[in-house]
């Protein structure tokens, strides 16, 4: 049985392990973090297409039951005017729209599936170096241990060591100029927002929130900022970000200031993306997910793309006569779609920057309802959400 070393226990890694096991491969999964709880993080939108991949693994319903269904997004101006409501999923088919979950919940659902299928994760295994020869590929970890397999799949996120091994000149992630700062909150008397998230083009910054049935608020803001040192941004305590956000959103309508007043568990993440990585594989090594096409969170698609990669790569390895052909087929199928999403998500991000002068803000508030009205029926993005993967069909991999 061929063996795959999978590096990274985020979203792409566990999903790839589950699909490859179905494809008849032996898999070994390695994660740098010392234990599962260390994943933390805030929350994320798992889109219709990501849910379809989870369905192939029998995990869709379990995740949806934990999350907040949000087939719609309501857009509000900083003057408390409803600008429009748009589908957060395929136009005309809102029930198949997205679900918002705590990041931990997605990790837990994937991790439990690994355990149920008898797949172990080696925690505290930080990949440092890769060696390859005609017989196999060896991953060397920071603690001095190593592992050997037939192929190595880098699911090691935006700062990927694997991407750099494949191509030492691979591009660095590009900083968007925006931070994503978010957390959780409870505001007495604040009504739940069933089936939607609310987005506010605030006077001095963009703000989004939803209220679950149990009253818990998930919120985020996108302040502009010069590129922070990644480690430094993690060290800035939540209170410091909160003080800044309370000031920035002080003039925004109810319940924005109240959500910020009651906020807890604040986290801050600089937003990066990778619009084009020239080389996705070399020899026995291939990269997936954020490691090769990190996308800004604006389109809510990063985790869903990582899930799609997992299914397509595993299907290619199942059906191709060689790993080299499988990697080529995987790249051919995934690159155009992934690069399109990164670009689209960037374009959304540009609308989130503060509107500038009063005149510019007034113009935006005037034009957005027209744009949003047409977006409600616009099926231009349906191919993003309606992407399905025929796992049971043999992939056609001839050049």
Compare residues 81 and 230 and give the one whose CB is closer to ligand FAD: 230
CA distances from 78 to 84, 88, 219, 256, 257 (A): 13, 21, 16, 10, 12
Among 23, 25, 31, 70, binds ligand FAD (CB under 6 A): 31
Compare residues 210 and 303 and give the one whose CB is closer to ligand FAD: 303
Tell me the number of residues near ligand FAD by CB under 6 A: 32
| 178 lies in the binding site for ligand FAD (CB under 6 A) | no
As measured in angstroms, the least distance from the Cβ of 36 to ligand FAD is 10
From CA 187, how far away is CA 180, in angstroms rounded? 21
Dihedral sign (CA 328, 60, 156, 267):
positive
As measured in angstroms, the least distance from the Cβ of 156 to ligand FAD is 4
Among 53, 99, 151, 155, binds ligand FAD (CB under 6 A): 155
Q: Identify which range of 7-15, 86-94, 108-116, 390-398 contacts ligand FAD by CB under 6 A.
A: 7-15
Compare residues 7 and 113 and give the one whose CB is closer to ligand FAD: 7
| 12 lies in the binding site for ligand FAD (CB under 6 A) | yes
From CA 242, how far away is CA 166, in angstroms rounded? 40
As measured in angstroms, the least distance from the Cβ of 370 to ligand FAD is 27
Among 17, 27, 28, 45, binds ligand FAD (CB under 6 A): 45
As measured in angstroms, the least distance from the Cβ of 244 to ligand FAD is 17
| 33 lies in the binding site for ligand FAD (CB under 6 A) | yes
Strands 26-31 and 121-123: parallel
From CA 283, how far away is CA 280, in angstroms rounded? 11
CB 368 within 8 A of CB 75: yes
CA torsion, points 370, 371, 372, 377, in degrees to nearest 10?
100
| 156 lies in the binding site for ligand FAD (CB under 6 A) | yes
151 contact partners, CB below 8 Å, separation of at least 6: 2, 4, 5, 137, 284, 285, 286, 317, 323
| 164 lies in the binding site for ligand FAD (CB under 6 A) | no
Compare residues 43 and 76 and give the one whose CB is closer to ligand FAD: 43
| 121 lies in the binding site for ligand FAD (CB under 6 A) | no
Compare residues 126 and 325 and give the one whose CB is closer to ligand FAD: 126
Compare residues 241 and 361 and give the one whose CB is closer to ligand FAD: 241
**Packed helices 323-352 and 302-319: angle between N→C axes, nearest 10 degrees:** 170
| 126 lies in the binding site for ligand FAD (CB under 6 A) | yes
Tell me the CA end-to-end span of the chain in Å, nearest whole number.
25
Among 306, 329, 375, 395, binds ligand FAD (CB under 6 A): 306
* Binding map of ligand FAD across residues 78-117, x = CB under 6 A, - = no contact: ----------------------------------------
As measured in angstroms, the least distance from the Cβ of 302 to ligand FAD is 2
Kindly provide the b/e burial profile for residues 350-367, where b requires at least 16 CB atoms within 10 angstroms of the residue's own CB: eebebbeeeeebeebbee
356-364: list long-range contacts, CB under 8 Å, 24+ apart: 361/78, 361/201, 361/203, 364/201
| 349 lies in the binding site for ligand FAD (CB under 6 A) | no
From CA 131, how far away is CA 266, in angstroms rounded? 40
| 301 lies in the binding site for ligand FAD (CB under 6 A) | yes
Q: Identify which range of 3-11, 54-62, 190-198, 351-359 contacts ligand FAD by CB under 6 A.
A: 3-11
1 contact partners, CB below 8 Å, separation of at least 6: 24, 25, 26
Among 4, 5, 6, 11, binds ligand FAD (CB under 6 A): 11
Residues 214-273 interacting with ligand FAD (rule: CB under 6 A): 269
**Packed helices 48-56 and 302-319: angle between N→C axes, nearest 10 degrees:** 40
| 32 lies in the binding site for ligand FAD (CB under 6 A) | yes
Binding footprint of ligand FAD on the chain (CB under 6 A): 7-13, 30-33, 44-45, 125-127, 155-157, 161, 180, 269, 289-291, 297, 300-304, 306
């Amino acid at each position: 049985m061929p063996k795959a070393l999978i590096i990274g226990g985020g979203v792409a890694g566990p999903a790839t392990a589950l699909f490859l096991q179905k494809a008849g491969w032996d898999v070994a999964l390695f994660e740098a973090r010392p234990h599962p709880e260390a994943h933390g993080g805030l929350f994320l939108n798992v889109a219709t297409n990501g849910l379809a991949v989870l369905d192939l693994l029998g995990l869709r319903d379990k995740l949806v039951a934990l999350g907040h269904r949000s087939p719609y997004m309501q857009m509000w101006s900083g003057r408390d005017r409803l600008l429009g409501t748009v589908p957060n999923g395929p136009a005309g088919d809102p029930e198949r729209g997205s679900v918002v979950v705590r990041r931990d919940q997605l990790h837990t659902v994937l991790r439990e599936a690994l355990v149920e299928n008898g797949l172990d994760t080696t925690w505290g295994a930080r990949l440092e170096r890769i060696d390859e020869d005609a017989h196999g590929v060896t991953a060397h970890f920071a603690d001095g241990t190593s592992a050997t397999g037939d192929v190595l799949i880098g699911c090691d996120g935006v700062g990927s060591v694997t991407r750099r091994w494949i191509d030492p000149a691979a591009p660095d992630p590009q900083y968007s100029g925006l931070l994503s700062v978010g957390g959780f909150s409870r505001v007495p008397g604040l009504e739940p927002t069933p089936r939607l998230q609310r987005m506010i083009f605030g006077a001095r910054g963009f703000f989004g929130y939803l209220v679950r049935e149990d009253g818990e608020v998930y919120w985020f803001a996108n302040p502009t900022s010069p590129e922070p040192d990644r480690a430094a941004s993690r060290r800035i305590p939540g209170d410091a970000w909160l003080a800044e956000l309370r000031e920035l959103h002080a003039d925004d309508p109810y319940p924005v200031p109240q959500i910020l007043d009651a906020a807890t568990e604040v986290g801050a993440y600089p937003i990066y993306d990778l619009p084009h990585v020239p080389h996705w594989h070399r020899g026995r090594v291939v990269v997936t997910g954020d490691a090769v096409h990190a996308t800004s969170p604006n389109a809510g698609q990063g985790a869903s793309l990582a899930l799609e990669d997992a299914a397509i790569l595993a299907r290619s390895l199942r059906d191709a006569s060689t790993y080299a052909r499988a990697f080529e087929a995987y790249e051919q199928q995934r690159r155009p779609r992934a690069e399109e999403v990164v670009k689209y998500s960037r374009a959304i991000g540009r609308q989130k920057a503060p509107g500038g002068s009063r005149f510019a803000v007034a113009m935006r508030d005037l034009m957005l309802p027209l744009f949003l009205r047409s977006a409600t029926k616009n099926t231009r993005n349906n191919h993003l959400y309606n992407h399905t993967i025929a796992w049971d069909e043999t992939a056609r991999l001839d050049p």
